[in-house]
Structure 1
Amino acid sequence: MNLKAGLYQTQTLKLAMTQELSQAIALLQYSTQELAAYLENKAAENPLISLESRDTTFDYRKKSSKKQKQESDPKYWIEQIGEVKICLEDYLMSQVHPKLLTKDDKKILKHLIRNLDENGYFRVDLQGIALNLNEPVDHVEQILFVLQGLEPAGVGARNLQECLLLQIQRQDSLPLAYNVINNHFIPFAEKKWKQISKDLKISLTELQEIFDFVQTLQPRPCARFSHDKPSYIVPDVVVEVIENQLHVRLADDLLSKVKLNEGYYKDMNNVGDKQVNRFLQDKFQEYQWIMKSIQQRRETILRVMTAITEKQPDCLTKGFSYLKPMTMKEIADELNIHESTVSRTVKDKYVQAPFGTVEMREFFSSSLQSLSSEDVSAREAKNAIQILIANEDKKKPLSDQDISEILKQEKSIILSRRTVAKYRDQLNIPSSSKRKRF
């Protein structure tokens, strides 16, 4: 090593993360909807970018003559009924007798209703409400009890336990249920029933009946009043079966919708101003970069999905029960790209396959040990665990060790007890002690 001071000329190779490269990477991991929103923002900033709408899907606003006849025909009156959205505040206030509360009491009641969350729970500090309304806490609490007496049962509860108690109070089917939920809520929920059985002098079978009854109660009493718009999944890639062959195509070709605003470009280019020319040059370069990035994104998605299709033909046509072990590194090596590029490509992307619309990431699964010659995927192991638990004797549920041994003997799948427990947790399946019925 030369430690002397001096000027030396060396040649090195390195990759510089330019702004264009950084944005190209970001563009790759965008879903189709996110990319469309990005292009709309760019079109608002860059006058040279023009977005054309080429929606080839059926326009439901253009109704056929047959459909119009049906809508005008009285026989089809059921289709003419519009959706009526019920407001929770109006529904609750309509149950209050006009002479039951004073004008000030109604004002407090409305304030309490407006502080309910989307499930109908009252989780705001009562003292803070009383301070804001300049009312005694006891008086505000009395109005809260009035709210808790309204329909649906459980509205105005301050926690899950109180919500269940409010519903149990209105039913006389199991008198012991109130006592159990009121005094033994946590151990009852955790199925630590032996001590409860001893304290209340009741059998485990009776506790099982109470548990089944509580399962019929509504933990979210006001959920039906929530009017959030449902979110729809828009597929990015479509895999079709054409003449017994799988074909891959993009669901929406955004590249054809991005056009150069040639009229504006020609008009501004003839101005002859240096600043205008520099501005046009920058915006034109941005337009070219966006077109190139979209094309690269398009090609990468198609290449990755085509590789997945070649490796998972049975899975794409028949479902995930036929999924073979496959990692992102395998696809990356086959396409001669980096594994992180595959990860960005499948991020938040959905595939419309012959068996349904699924996330691209779902096709990747690690390989597990097997006694047979064929590899087993993690999804296949999870499906096997689900089937075993679904068919088990609920009075003697299978432990994680039992499941591990059965999988080895019957399915030739080698899983440790800890791996079974991890997969069971991922499937949101409780442990054997929680699944046991008495």
Structure 2
Amino acid sequence: MAEDAVIRELAAAVERSPELAELRVHLATLLVERERFAEALAHCSAVLAQDATHAAALSLLQRCTAGLAGPPPSAGGSSPEFDWGAAEDQVADIVKPAFVDDPAAVVDENDFDAVQRPVTRLTDIAGMADVKKQLELSLLGPIRNPDLMKTFKVSARGGLLLYGPPGCGKTFVAKAVSGELGANFYQVGIADVLSRWLGESENSIRAIFDSARRNAPCVLFFDEVDALGHRRSALSGSAGLRTVVNALLEELDSATSVNDGVYVLGATNAPWDVDPALRRPGRFDRMIFVPLPDAEARAAIMKLHLQDRPVEGINLAEVAKRTDGFSGADLAHICDSATQLAMADSLSSGQIRPVRMSDVDTALTQIRPSTGPWFDTARNVVEFSNRDGTYDALAKYLRRHRVR
């Protein structure tokens, strides 16, 4: 019973913070140990929708699939026995992924907990021409031309906030900026900052900025800024979070004068929940809207998530045409679902077969775009809270696109 209580507590924690992948993986591991494979599979799929390369989730996914397929048949059974010893040879015999009309692949970078030096560049990102142009004008161009900045008496001070629907590659864009600058990359999430001990969260903020200074030039990337820098007016009952916002404001202010070589970027799905003080000059004073992937980007994302799996005859151009309105995370989910179908068929037949277009077709009938609620909120924000023009780029996008 104690073990069930642990699972209930973890399930409640996941419900409160569904974006925390490691929490889901821990819960899925316990569920697999108790042979509750269907429940574990749902959590594995949620993790892989965020990061299709998550090694622990992929490993658990295989265990769930095998568990749901039932125990291996007996020697006298009529079902063919799956020969795992010969599986690797079968995979080697399968023709390399054959894609139709496929654009250049996006080179993915693993997420890291410490300071890293990404090699990703903006040219590795398919599509997203408007985002690249804005990055060049608002950040990269001035930094690359210090003499021009002196002439016009401007500086690269302050931070840049990437905002848009969830699962659309804001973190990948931030890494590409780091690669363009030849700078280190330090990614910070809410779990790296918040502590249950009084005063520790503020100390974490200061330590993070100190580490970025020591590793300059460095792109200091704050993920989920709305969680770290929530409107203080909405935090009347959360004194701890209010002090975190204040500490972040303090460090951002000092970054404008003493943090040479530290470029602060942030990402959020809900910029309207970010404390207005964080968007004043010298802080996150520039905003770039990162929209849903266009057709070129959708094809590249599909290829990225299928490139290390046995596939056959996948028409990426056709898939891209049929997935307008899907986020990058939705596309990863389609790839995972199609792969699960091929795995299930392989387990049933005893012969490994590649992922085919028919699997993708089936996955497309089962999966719908996940960003509809986000755009519903965004439309209300544009209609009622855009008097100062903060969300003009979002408003322009909504006028041009009909998002489901």
TM-score, normalising length: structure 2: 0.19
TM-score, normalising length: structure 1: 0.18
Work out which of the two has the higher radius of gyration on C-alpha atoms and give 1 or 2: 1
